[in-house]
Structure 1
Amino acid sequence: MPEIHIERSHRLGIEAARAIARKWVSEVEQDYGLSCSYEEGQALDIGRFSRAGIDGSVEVSGDSLKLRATLAGLFAGFSGQIEERLRQKLDDLLGRPDDEVDDGYNDKDWR
Protein backbone atom coordinates (compact mmCIF):
# COMPACT_ATOMS: atom_id res chain seq x y z
CA MET A 1 0.00 0.00 0.00
CA PRO A 2 1.39 3.41 -0.93
CA GLU A 3 2.24 5.75 1.91
CA ILE A 4 2.48 9.51 1.72
CA HIS A 5 4.72 11.53 4.03
CA ILE A 6 4.80 15.31 3.74
CA GLU A 7 6.59 17.60 6.17
CA ARG A 8 6.63 21.39 6.09
CA SER A 9 8.55 23.68 8.42
CA HIS A 10 7.04 27.04 9.28
CA ARG A 11 7.47 29.98 11.63
CA LEU A 12 3.80 30.54 12.38
CA GLY A 13 3.62 29.40 15.98
CA ILE A 14 1.11 26.88 17.27
CA GLU A 15 -2.00 29.12 17.17
CA ALA A 16 -1.63 30.13 13.51
CA ALA A 17 -0.56 26.62 12.49
CA ARG A 18 -3.55 25.20 14.35
CA ALA A 19 -5.91 27.51 12.45
CA ILE A 20 -4.40 26.40 9.13
CA ALA A 21 -4.58 22.73 10.08
CA ARG A 22 -8.20 23.04 11.19
CA LYS A 23 -9.04 24.72 7.88
CA TRP A 24 -7.26 21.94 5.95
CA VAL A 25 -9.07 19.23 7.92
CA SER A 26 -12.42 20.93 7.32
CA GLU A 27 -11.76 21.28 3.59
CA VAL A 28 -10.67 17.66 3.04
CA GLU A 29 -13.60 16.44 5.11
CA GLN A 30 -15.99 18.39 2.91
CA ASP A 31 -14.23 17.95 -0.45
CA TYR A 32 -13.36 14.25 -0.19
CA GLY A 33 -15.95 12.84 2.17
CA LEU A 34 -13.36 11.97 4.81
CA SER A 35 -14.25 11.31 8.42
CA CYS A 36 -12.06 13.69 10.42
CA SER A 37 -11.21 14.52 14.01
CA TYR A 38 -8.91 17.10 15.54
CA GLU A 39 -7.32 16.96 18.98
CA GLU A 40 -5.49 19.94 20.44
CA GLY A 41 -2.51 19.49 22.69
CA GLN A 42 -0.34 21.98 24.49
CA ALA A 43 2.54 21.81 22.01
CA LEU A 44 1.25 19.31 19.41
CA ASP A 45 -2.14 18.84 17.75
CA ILE A 46 -3.18 15.74 15.84
CA GLY A 47 -5.82 15.66 13.13
CA ARG A 48 -6.96 12.27 11.87
CA PHE A 49 -8.78 11.49 8.64
CA SER A 50 -10.14 8.32 7.06
CA ARG A 51 -12.57 6.70 4.68
CA ALA A 52 -12.52 3.46 2.73
CA GLY A 53 -9.07 3.36 1.11
CA ILE A 54 -7.53 6.30 2.99
CA ASP A 55 -6.22 6.60 6.54
CA GLY A 56 -3.96 9.32 7.81
CA SER A 57 -3.02 12.03 10.24
CA VAL A 58 -1.57 15.51 10.37
CA GLU A 59 0.63 16.56 13.28
CA VAL A 60 0.81 20.27 13.96
CA SER A 61 3.38 22.02 16.11
CA GLY A 62 4.61 25.59 16.43
CA ASP A 63 7.26 25.00 13.79
CA SER A 64 6.18 22.08 11.59
CA LEU A 65 3.29 20.32 9.94
CA LYS A 66 3.61 16.57 9.22
CA LEU A 67 1.10 14.68 7.14
CA ARG A 68 1.02 10.90 6.80
CA ALA A 69 -1.48 8.90 4.78
CA THR A 70 -1.88 5.30 3.69
CA LEU A 71 -3.77 4.59 0.48
CA ALA A 72 -5.45 1.34 -0.48
CA GLY A 73 -7.82 0.03 -3.11
CA LEU A 74 -8.58 2.37 -5.98
CA PHE A 75 -6.73 5.24 -4.32
CA ALA A 76 -3.43 3.33 -4.40
CA GLY A 77 -3.29 3.68 -8.17
CA PHE A 78 -3.53 7.45 -7.90
CA SER A 79 -1.00 7.90 -5.10
CA GLY A 80 1.27 10.23 -7.08
CA GLN A 81 -1.56 12.56 -8.05
CA ILE A 82 -3.05 12.48 -4.56
CA GLU A 83 0.30 13.26 -2.96
CA GLU A 84 0.87 16.18 -5.33
CA ARG A 85 -2.56 17.62 -4.54
CA LEU A 86 -1.95 17.26 -0.80
CA ARG A 87 1.44 19.01 -1.14
CA GLN A 88 -0.10 21.79 -3.20
CA LYS A 89 -2.96 22.30 -0.74
CA LEU A 90 -0.61 22.49 2.26
CA ASP A 91 1.70 24.89 0.43
CA ASP A 92 -1.28 27.07 -0.53
CA LEU A 93 -2.50 27.20 3.07
CA LEU A 94 0.97 27.94 4.40
CA GLY A 95 1.21 30.83 1.94
CA ARG A 96 3.92 29.44 -0.29
CA PRO A 97 3.92 30.33 -3.98
CA ASP A 98 2.92 27.55 -6.34
CA ASP A 99 5.74 26.97 -8.82
CA GLU A 100 3.97 24.06 -10.48
CA VAL A 101 1.93 24.40 -13.63
CA ASP A 102 -1.68 23.27 -13.24
CA ASP A 103 -2.07 19.98 -15.09
CA GLY A 104 -5.84 20.35 -15.31
CA TYR A 105 -6.43 17.38 -13.00
CA ASN A 106 -9.48 17.97 -10.87
CA ASP A 107 -8.79 16.61 -7.40
CA LYS A 108 -12.50 15.89 -6.98
CA ASP A 109 -12.08 13.23 -9.70
CA TRP A 110 -10.78 10.77 -7.07
CA ARG A 111 -13.69 11.32 -4.72
Structure 2
Amino acid sequence: MSDVKFSQAHTLGLEKARELAKQWAEDSAKKMGLDCKHTEGADKDTITFERMGVTGLMTVTGTSFDLDVKLGMMMKAFKPMIESEIAKNLGRIIDKASGKA
Protein backbone atom coordinates (compact mmCIF):
# COMPACT_ATOMS: atom_id res chain seq x y z
CA MET A 1 0.00 0.00 0.00
CA SER A 2 1.26 3.45 -0.88
CA ASP A 3 2.03 6.05 1.72
CA VAL A 4 1.70 8.92 -0.74
CA LYS A 5 -0.71 8.96 -3.67
CA PHE A 6 -0.87 11.88 -6.04
CA SER A 7 -2.84 12.34 -9.24
CA GLN A 8 -2.78 15.36 -11.54
CA ALA A 9 -5.00 15.61 -14.62
CA HIS A 10 -3.70 17.46 -17.67
CA THR A 11 -4.51 18.17 -21.31
CA LEU A 12 -0.97 17.90 -22.69
CA GLY A 13 -1.23 14.61 -24.57
CA LEU A 14 1.13 11.69 -24.17
CA GLU A 15 4.15 13.07 -26.06
CA LYS A 16 4.36 16.29 -24.04
CA ALA A 17 3.58 14.44 -20.80
CA ARG A 18 6.35 11.97 -21.65
CA GLU A 19 8.82 14.85 -22.05
CA LEU A 20 7.79 16.30 -18.68
CA ALA A 21 8.06 12.91 -16.98
CA LYS A 22 11.59 12.46 -18.32
CA GLN A 23 12.47 15.97 -17.10
CA TRP A 24 10.98 15.19 -13.68
CA ALA A 25 12.99 11.95 -13.47
CA GLU A 26 16.25 13.69 -14.41
CA ASP A 27 15.65 16.53 -11.95
CA SER A 28 14.61 14.13 -9.18
CA ALA A 29 17.67 11.97 -9.72
CA LYS A 30 19.92 15.02 -9.35
CA LYS A 31 18.11 16.75 -6.49
CA MET A 32 16.98 13.80 -4.39
CA GLY A 33 19.36 11.03 -5.34
CA LEU A 34 16.64 8.89 -6.89
CA ASP A 35 17.48 6.03 -9.22
CA CYS A 36 14.84 6.40 -11.94
CA LYS A 37 13.94 4.01 -14.75
CA HIS A 38 11.64 5.20 -17.56
CA THR A 39 9.66 2.73 -19.67
CA GLU A 40 7.71 3.99 -22.69
CA GLY A 41 4.48 2.34 -23.77
CA ALA A 42 1.98 2.83 -26.57
CA ASP A 43 -0.60 4.60 -24.40
CA LYS A 44 1.22 5.12 -21.09
CA ASP A 45 4.71 5.38 -19.67
CA THR A 46 5.98 4.32 -16.27
CA ILE A 47 8.81 5.64 -14.19
CA THR A 48 9.98 3.57 -11.27
CA PHE A 49 12.22 5.24 -8.73
CA GLU A 50 13.99 4.40 -5.53
CA ARG A 51 16.55 5.48 -3.02
CA MET A 52 17.14 4.47 0.55
CA GLY A 53 13.79 4.80 2.33
CA VAL A 54 11.70 5.58 -0.77
CA THR A 55 10.30 3.54 -3.66
CA GLY A 56 7.67 4.59 -6.13
CA LEU A 57 5.95 4.45 -9.46
CA MET A 58 4.75 7.25 -11.71
CA THR A 59 2.27 6.37 -14.43
CA VAL A 60 2.02 8.91 -17.24
CA THR A 61 -0.83 8.98 -19.74
CA GLY A 62 -2.12 11.52 -22.22
CA THR A 63 -4.47 12.86 -19.54
CA SER A 64 -2.87 12.30 -16.13
CA PHE A 65 0.19 11.83 -13.96
CA ASP A 66 -0.37 9.28 -11.17
CA LEU A 67 2.24 8.83 -8.48
CA ASP A 68 2.41 6.12 -5.80
CA VAL A 69 5.19 6.36 -3.23
CA LYS A 70 6.11 3.92 -0.47
CA LEU A 71 8.07 5.46 2.37
CA GLY A 72 10.43 3.61 4.66
CA MET A 73 10.00 3.92 8.40
CA MET A 74 12.46 6.81 8.78
CA MET A 75 10.84 8.76 5.91
CA LYS A 76 7.27 8.44 7.20
CA ALA A 77 7.89 11.38 9.53
CA PHE A 78 8.39 13.58 6.45
CA LYS A 79 5.19 12.45 4.70
CA PRO A 80 3.36 15.83 4.88
CA MET A 81 6.39 17.66 3.49
CA ILE A 82 6.87 15.06 0.74
CA GLU A 83 3.20 15.27 -0.29
CA SER A 84 3.39 19.05 -0.41
CA GLU A 85 6.57 19.09 -2.48
CA ILE A 86 5.20 16.54 -4.95
CA ALA A 87 2.01 18.54 -5.47
CA LYS A 88 3.89 21.84 -5.80
CA ASN A 89 6.64 20.64 -8.12
CA LEU A 90 4.61 18.43 -10.42
CA GLY A 91 1.80 20.98 -10.56
CA ARG A 92 4.30 23.70 -11.47
CA ILE A 93 5.84 21.83 -14.42
CA ILE A 94 2.40 20.85 -15.74
CA ASP A 95 1.16 24.44 -15.48
CA LYS A 96 4.29 25.74 -17.17
CA ALA A 97 3.95 23.26 -20.05
CA SER A 98 0.26 24.17 -20.36
CA GLY A 99 1.10 27.87 -20.64
CA LYS A 100 -0.52 28.70 -17.29
CA ALA A 101 2.66 29.90 -15.60
Unaligned runs of 5+ in 2: none
Deviation per residue, 1:8-37 (Å, 9 max, x gap): 111100000001111111111110111110
SS across alignment from 1:74: coil
State the partner residue of 1:75. Answer: 75
Q: Is the contact made by 1:45 and 1:59 (CA closer than 8 Å) also made in structure 2?
A: yes
State the partner residue of 1:65. Answer: 65
Q: Is the contact made by 1:56 and 1:67 (CA closer than 8 Å) also made in structure 2?
A: yes
- Identity within the alignment, %: 29
Q: Is the contact made by 1:2 and 1:79 (CA closer than 8 Å) also made in structure 2?
A: no
In structure 1, C-alpha distance between the alignment counterparts of 2:94 and 2:38, rounded to whole Å:
18
What is the Cα deviation at residue 2 of structure 1?
A: 6.5
1:5 aligns with 2:5: yes
Task: From the superposition, tell whether residues 2 and 72 of structure 1 become closer, same or farther in structure 2 (CA, over 3 Å).
Answer: farther
Q: Following superposition, which runs of at least 4 residues in structure 1 exceed 4 angstroms of deviation?
A: none
SS across alignment from 2:41: coil
- Structure 2 letter corresponding to 1:46: T
Point out which structure has higher relative CO (alpha carbons under 8 A, 6+ apart). 2
Q: How many residues align?
A: 98
Could you state the TM-score of these two structures normalised by the residue count of structure 1?
0.83
- Structure 2 letter corresponding to 1:78: F
Unaligned runs of 5+ in 1: 99-111
CA RMSD of aligned residues (A): 1.7
Q: Is the contact made by 1:2 and 1:72 (CA closer than 8 Å) also made in structure 2?
A: no
In structure 2, C-alpha distance between the alignment counterparts of 1:44 and 1:2, rounded to whole Å:
20
In structure 2, C-alpha distance between the alignment counterparts of 1:82 and 1:39, rounded to whole Å:
24
State the partner residue of 1:87. Answer: 87
